[in-house]
Structure 1
Amino acid sequence: MKLALSTQDALHLVRLPATFVVWSNILAAHLIATGGWPHWLVLIPQLAAGTALCWSGVVLKDCFPLRQGATGEPAGLLASGRISGQAAWVLGGGLMVLGLAFAALAGGASLRIAVALGLAIVAYHGFLKDTLLGPVIMGAIHYIQWMFGLAVMAMGSGAKALAVPVFLYVAALTVLVGAEAKGAAPQTTRIAAVLLGLAALVIVELVLAGRMEQPLILALVVPAVLALGYWLWRLTADGSPAAVQTLVQRLTFGLIPLDALLLAGSGHWLVAPFLLLLLVPGFVFRSSPE
């Protein structure tokens, strides 16, 4: 079992930028649940659990094609020979177990949600990634991450509804991820546009229904929708793989401002800008190969 990883190799393998999006999901939900005052004894193991589960998912992403007998060369570090397939399986499974152990430290509710998150990660990477259910499951993964953050307190349906725009946004993003290799057909772009439009409409509904107490956030939603519309319009003119990859990268980091927007809309204007600081390390490591 060959496992000889440098620090750079390890960061390559776990796709570090994805970690900051996970932290953003958990932090936003946790701060909403606690009224802006972190419960550190819960938050720290939740962030550790989310990190381990995220890393487990991106390692297993390279492992499952080997089990399924995919044609072509292995991806990532498996192709370099610096880590064997068996070692990657052990690493991915070990990170999954570690994530569940950290979740247990955060409490029973966190552990139950972490189990659901782990199952969703395995289902996506192992069986459903390339099916019509792929975008739904990936959206559900980020929705569950929000539920993980909310698990610090007993929350009603109003708080849980805040994660619906995240679900729709990630589903749209995943539709575009599926077109990175071959380019985006017009139908792909339309599906992504519909899902992103629904995400914006849900935010408006949350404000109108009083589930978000700061209607001023709608002033931020408008330019965001215009920017998204422009990028998607450009994609209809140039649906090349390079254009899709550029938009996917933008939308991936757009999850952090979305979390900050939902945090601000819930009344935490002072805390929300600090969440945007996660964009800094995210951009620093954005060049890490996927």
Structure 2
Amino acid sequence: MTQNIIHYLKLVRAPAGFTALSNILAASVLMTNGQLNLSIIYLLFASVCFYFAGMTLNDCFDFKEDLAQRPSRPIPSGNVSLNKAWMIGAGLMVVGLILSFSFSTLSGYVGLALCVAIIGYNGLIKEGLFGSFCMAACRYLNWLLGASFVALSTQSFLIAVPIFAYITGLTYLSKQETTAQNKHVIWFTAFTLLITMFSSGYLLENSFAVTGIQRWLAWGLLLVWSCLVLNKLRLVFQTFSPASIQQMIIFMVIGVIPLDALLVAMAGHYWFAFIIIALLPPTRMLNKRLNAIT
């Protein structure tokens, strides 16, 4: 029984589900200036359902490819049947929509757009740069789902730009995880990380109401984060191989949580930043147990 549960946890990439939660928390905190209530639970659960649905449907659509390149995955290994996986993916998506509409009509429509993006990426536009943009759009919409805790505004759309750039680079790099044939992807990923940095700086100067020591602290945190991530990417450039790329992908997927916490801290919401960063240990421990993110 326990082994069966592990197979399903691997199917949905359970450790990375915490990154969906951090997106919702970060977006809602930034858009409400930290004025949250327990109704946020609807959006948190909806987000996790959408994320797990997306990961499950990804493996359903990639079944034939995984038979050749990732035979240990739950579906090609036979530990989870393809038909059951389709049912799980569709069911989770429906539950996510129900929870979104239960929160508000606006959240429901954002959830519906997220479903379209998930299906579009998994079934239609997965390869190349456009595929990377499509995956980034899924994360962008997940951020907007968190922002829909209140009415969406221009700021809502701007505040999600860093995560869009970050996920674009991550996804484009992940296309090399089995072959490591095109080293130029490192430069593109570095470019997207710089966009993440500069767009975060733009938000700091134009959207976040912090001044004095808080402003300088925010710039310092952003600089430290940028140096750490770019240095990690530099090491991948030096030892460009499927193994090093896979490690970088795990680092960056889990790194969504520190990025969310960074943006919240830059806006001066330090307690919420600590709450978000507290999602990091369980994410790492669960991934160590399951080895399920990639």
TM-score (norm 1): 0.91
Contact 1:5–1:82, Cα closer than 8 Å, also in 2 = no
Q: Which of 116, 122, 133 does residue 136 from structure 1 map onto?
A: 133
Match of 2:271?
Answer: 270
Aligned counterpart in structure 1 of residue 159 of structure 2, from 159, 162, 187: 162
2:30 corresponds in structure 1 to 32
1:82 CA drift (Å): 3.1
Where does residue 8 of structure 2 map in the other structure? 10
Distance 1:220 1:71 in 2: 39
Partner of 2:229: 228
Distance apart, 1:232 and its partner CA = 2.1
Q: Does 1:96 align with 2:93?
A: yes
* 1:239 positional shift: 0.6
Contact 2:67–2:76, Cα closer than 8 Å, also in 1: no
- 1:97-116 deviation per Cα after TM superposition (whole angstroms, max 9, x unaligned): 11111111111011000000
Instruction: Give the equivalent residue in structure 1 for 2:18.
Output: 20
1:241 aligns with 2:242: yes
Map Cα deviations across residues 147-192 of structure 1 (whole Å, 9 max, x no partner). Answer: 1011111243224312101110111111111111112633110000
1:138/1:276 Cα in 2 relative to 1: closer, same or farther (>3 Å)? same
Contact 2:193 2:230 (8 Å CA) reproduced: no
Using the TM superposition, give the Cα deviation of residue 48 of structure 1 relative to its aligned residue in structure 2, in angstroms. 1.2
Tell me, in whole angstroms, the C-alpha distance in 2 between the residues paired with 1:190 and 1:117: 29
Q: Which amino acid aligns with 2:13?
A: R
Q: 2:52 aligns with which of 45, 51, 55?
A: 55
Instruction: Give structure 1 stretches of 5+ with no counterpart.
Output: none
Task: Report the Cα offset of residue 125 of structure 1.
Answer: 1.2
Structure 1 residues 234 and 5: CA distance shift in structure 2, 3 A? closer
Match of residue 262 from structure 2: 261
Count of aligned pairs between the two proteins? 284
For residues 224 and 152 of structure 1, the distance between their equivalents in structure 2, rounded to whole angstroms, comes to: 28
How many Å separate the matches in 2 of 1:210 and 1:34?
13
Task: Identify the range of structure 1 (115-124 vs 132-141) with the bigger mean alpha-carbon deviation.
Answer: 132-141
Deviates more, 1:87-96 or 1:151-160: 151-160
Report the aligned-residue RMSD. 1.9
- Give the secondary structure class of the aligned counterpart of 1:152: coil
The 5-angstrom pairing of residues 83-232 of structure 1 reads: 83-183=80-180, 185-211=182-208, 213=210, 214-215=214-215, 216-232=217-233
Q: Which runs of 5+ in 2 are unaligned?
A: none
SS of 1:179's partner is: coil
Give runs of aligned pairs for residues 72-91 of structure 1, distance below 5 A: 72-73=67-68, 76-91=73-88
CA distance in 2, matches of 1:275, 1:229: 22
Distance in 1 separating the partners of 2:287 and 2:181:
22
**Separation in 2, partners of 1:132, 1:256:** 24
Identity %: 31
Q: Distance in 2 between matches of 1:203 and 1:32?
A: 13
CA distance in 1, matches of 2:66, 2:29: 45
Whole-angstrom distance in 1 between the partners of 2:257 and 2:266: 14
Moved more, 176-185 or 236-245: 176-185
